[in-house]
Structure 1
Amino acid sequence: MNDIAITVNAPVKSVSRLAHRVAVSALFFTQGLCFASWASRIPTFQQKFHLNEAEVGGLLLALPAGLMVALPFSGWFTAKFGSRKIVLAATVVYALTLVVIGLSPSVYALLGGLFAFGFSGNMVNIAVNTQAVQVEAMYRKPIMASFHGLWSLAGFTGASIGTMMIGFGLIPFWHYVIITSAALLIAAISSGFVIKDEGTVAVDQPVFAKPDKALMLLGVIAFSGLMCEGAMVDWGGIYFKEIVHAEKAWIGAGYTAYMCTMAGGRFVADWFTARFGMKTMLQISGSLIAAGLLLSVIFPHLYTAIAGFFIVGFGVSSIIPLVYGEAGKSTTMSAGVALAAVSTVGFLGFLLGPPIIGFAAAATNLRVSYTIIAVMGLTVTLLSSRLKQ
């Protein structure tokens, strides 16, 4: 793996590091906007194709399936052709795939569209994070979390636009045409300001790169963090309904509190990381996850549970940005390949977390299941102690 070579051309003098940062930030926002736009219309597709809950669940597996298939290829392509070419090309494909999804005449066509959406989305993810690593190096201070914060902010924006489109009675196709047009415009404007890197890999470099010991440790930390994130996303509302016994209007309060602090936490995480260091921040993050979940489990009442979810959001917010930022500094493989390797391990936690919670809840109850997730938070703290500051 030491025969990989990545060369980054010196940026044109007229392009400031701020311009690079704004361009990469815009691409993060675009990716989040496209994803949230799809997610906001899931009920519309359910109604259109007359799907029950189980069928919707099966349909939604197509997107992570495409993402998982893309993981090793995205790192290799980014290393081979450079993150600039991949992030711009993949963003265009990702946005256009939205229109394809909106045109889907059948469930099978929708499945194919979602697979392509997941595949191209991960291409964007690895390439744009590779760009972010290079911009962060220019600033010589932590700024990775702010990029991910914009992705979260785009999620709120996309969900709000989706709600508005549903209110106007606009079908998904025209909704997605509007979003795709905006995404293509942003990509076109950003194209002149993203870092012009040229990547090369040795001919015998395998597509599937096994992470070394240091990257595997980062991958397991990401696994633990994303397992917590997946459980909060999929089971937060159910926890408030079945355990907290919240009234209907308050069932989503915990999830809302969690999402607000997860997004907001990313905009302040960089300052705290610069102040206390990456290792300490990860230890604090894991501790916050454990503390917030235990508060919700031990005192399953409305206000204490909301407070618990509020704390968990802060804990989850900085884990993936910090892990990605550190992985991108790997000295044994290119940034793109290293990010893909860590993402492969980490994303398994996001996929496995919700079903593990479900199986544990079926065998015991949901409070016990959330205790397991609290243990994963402590795992982040313990594993982070093995990292170099």
Structure 2
Amino acid sequence: MPSAWSPLRLALTAFFTADGFVFAGWVVRVPAIKEQVHASPGALGLALLCISAGAVATMAVVGRLCVRHGTRPVTVASALLLSLVVALPAHAHSVATLGAALLLFGAGYGALNVAMNSAAVEVGAALRRPIMPTFHAAYSLGGLCGAGLGGLLASRLTPAWHLGLIALVGLAVTATAGTVLLRSPAPGRPQPQDAQGARPAAPRGGDRGRRVGLLVVLLGLTALCTSYGEGALADWATLHLTDDLHTGAGLAAAGYAAYAFAMTTGRLTGTWLSMRLGPTRVMAGGGLLACAGMLTAALAPSVPLVLGGFVLVGLGLANTFPLAIARAGTLAGPQGVATASTLGYGGMLIGPPVIGFLANAFGLPLALTTVAALAAVAAAIAVSTDRRPAAHPGS
């Protein structure tokens, strides 16, 4: 069994941090790149849809690659791809070329998230602790640093220089942490468990397989509803502040940073909360809190209230996604992570284009209220999933 903070866990934490840092670096330059390619909200939404397409197209394939070749080599290869392609959107000069660049960016992002989440499930199973929220806290911390740096550099560097520096950071982390990750002893893959976290005494063939498959899909839908909000805030929070509340680029970046800081704080306490309250209460309560926060952020007329709403959304959404993905991986291994991640990250990546289309038709504030609606749906699904019978009645 690995120690609580083994080199393997630290290296994997570095990949989660780098993933959030790279993604946030892209996020805070969306307004500048939107102007660079002269995109309307609807056209930008269509370009952002290419991130979804690239990610969803790779996730199922990466799940199979993790089963065949192991989660850690696939994690390193995926991080290398993401680091290489993050600079491409800054060199686009039309919506079409931006979409092509974001297709590759989405492929790298989707591949890395399936691979590193699968590796994290293996480490958590070896430690026998619900540590997935701490990995996602590292992702959020990376997002916070990326957003904070982006706010400082927004008026000083062009998007090309900024995203080029982000790419170099990603490559450095991949080389350093990847070496440790590949050389560390394997912790072993988790044994399948039932819906309540107990290991089944004996499989029941197709019946148990169908129940596990249904639970994985439900967990994926829970993740989808919450990650829809994560994706929407990632690409539209800054635009909501600049276009609807007429703030500057630096303050707009601070709005996303406030959200990222709140999510990081929530995830740092996620293991403690889930061990004391239970995952279902954490997920359901978080969904309701995010619902209230998003309604405030979308409809409030003042910047302080909007920033406060973003903080509540970050706290509310913090742990639902990692807890759902962790349970899917415990139930069905890398393929379970891939299935739930395809749905979950699909929500994160379809959120921005859907918000864009709705903003074109109804305005951005009203479009953002859909985040609140889906957060409430996530809470309901979490409760209903907890009430489902275990995969094996005698467990």
C-alpha distance in structure 2 between counterparts of 1:160 and 1:168, whole Å:
14
C-alpha distance in structure 2 between counterparts of 1:116 and 1:234, whole Å:
17
> In structure 2, what is the equivalent of residue 213 of structure 1?
214
> In structure 2, what is the equivalent of residue 184 of structure 1?
175
Question: Aligned partner of 1:53: which letter?
Answer: A
> In structure 1, what is the equivalent of residue 309 of structure 2?
308
Most deviating of 189-198 and 374-383: 189-198
Contact 1:285 1:316 in 2 (8 A): yes
> In structure 2, what is the equivalent of residue 21 of structure 1?
9
> Which secondary structure state, in structure 1, belongs to the residue aligned with residue 110 of structure 2?
helix
Q: State the shift of 1:365 in Å.
A: 5.1
Most deviating of 54-63 and 254-263: 54-63
C-alpha distance in structure 1 between counterparts of 2:354 and 2:99, whole Å:
25
Report % sequence identity: 27
- 1:224-252 deviation per Cα after TM superposition (whole angstroms, max 9, x unaligned): 11122233233334444566x46547555
C-alpha distance in structure 1 between counterparts of 2:270 and 2:21, whole Å:
22
C-alpha distance in structure 1 between counterparts of 2:355 and 2:30, whole Å:
23
Contact 2:120 2:135 in 1 (8 A): yes
Contact 1:82 1:198 in 2 (8 A): no
TM-score (norm 1): 0.77
Q: State the shift of 1:110 in Å.
A: 7.0
> In structure 2, what is the equivalent of residue 205 of structure 1?
none
> Which secondary structure state, in structure 2, belongs to the residue aligned with residue 328 of structure 1?
helix
C-alpha distance in structure 2 between counterparts of 1:234 and 1:39, whole Å:
6
Superposition map of 1:251-262 within 5 A: 254-262=255-263
Instruction: Summarize the Cα distance change of 1:129–1:284 in structure 2 as closer, same or farther, 3 Å threshold.
Output: same
Tell me if 1:321 matches 2:361. Answer: no
C-alpha distance in structure 2 between counterparts of 1:114 and 1:355, whole Å:
12
Most deviating of 229-238 and 374-383: 229-238
Superposition map of 1:274-353 within 5 A: 274-296=275-297, 300-330=301-331, 333=332, 335-353=333-351
C-alpha distance in structure 1 between counterparts of 2:169 and 2:342, whole Å:
32
> Which secondary structure state, in structure 2, belongs to the residue aligned with residue 53 of structure 1?
coil
Question: Aligned partner of 2:182: which letter?
Answer: S
TM-score (norm 2): 0.76
Contact 1:37 1:179 in 2 (8 A): no
Aligned Cα root-mean-square deviation (Å): 3.7
Superposition map of 1:73-88 within 5 A: 73-88=61-76
Q: State the shift of 1:125 in Å.
A: 1.3
C-alpha distance in structure 2 between counterparts of 1:195 and 1:155, whole Å:
28
- 1:123-176 deviation per Cα after TM superposition (whole angstroms, max 9, x unaligned): 221121111112112332221111011112122334455655984788468633
C-alpha distance in structure 1 between counterparts of 2:187 and 2:260, whole Å:
34
C-alpha distance in structure 2 between counterparts of 1:33 and 1:367, whole Å:
27
C-alpha distance in structure 2 between counterparts of 1:380 and 1:238, whole Å:
25
> In structure 2, what is the equivalent of residue 69 of structure 1?
57
Tell me if 1:52 matches 2:38. Answer: yes
Q: State the shift of 1:319 in Å.
A: 1.4
Tell me if 1:91 matches 2:79. Answer: yes
Q: How many residues align?
A: 360
Instruction: Summarize the Cα distance change of 1:289–1:164 in structure 2 as closer, same or farther, 3 Å threshold.
Output: closer
Contact 1:269 1:318 in 2 (8 A): yes
Contact 2:45 2:354 in 1 (8 A): no
Q: Which residues of structure 1 form unaligned runs of 5+?
A: 1-10, 200-208
Contact 2:259 2:311 in 1 (8 A): yes
Most deviating of 262-271 and 231-240: 231-240
C-alpha distance in structure 1 between counterparts of 2:361 and 2:30, whole Å:
30
Contact 2:26 2:163 in 1 (8 A): no
Instruction: Summarize the Cα distance change of 1:131–1:178 in structure 2 as closer, same or farther, 3 Å threshold.
Output: closer
Question: Aligned partner of 1:380: which letter?
Answer: A
C-alpha distance in structure 2 between counterparts of 1:317 and 1:58, whole Å:
27
C-alpha distance in structure 2 between counterparts of 1:198 and 1:136, whole Å:
10
Question: Aligned partner of 1:186: which letter?
Answer: A
Contact 2:31 2:239 in 1 (8 A): no
Contact 1:34 1:98 in 2 (8 A): yes
Contact 2:28 2:238 in 1 (8 A): no
Q: State the shift of 1:93 in Å.
A: 3.5
C-alpha distance in structure 1 between counterparts of 2:181 and 2:223, whole Å:
29
> In structure 1, what is the equivalent of residue 378 of structure 2?
380
Contact 2:147 2:256 in 1 (8 A): no
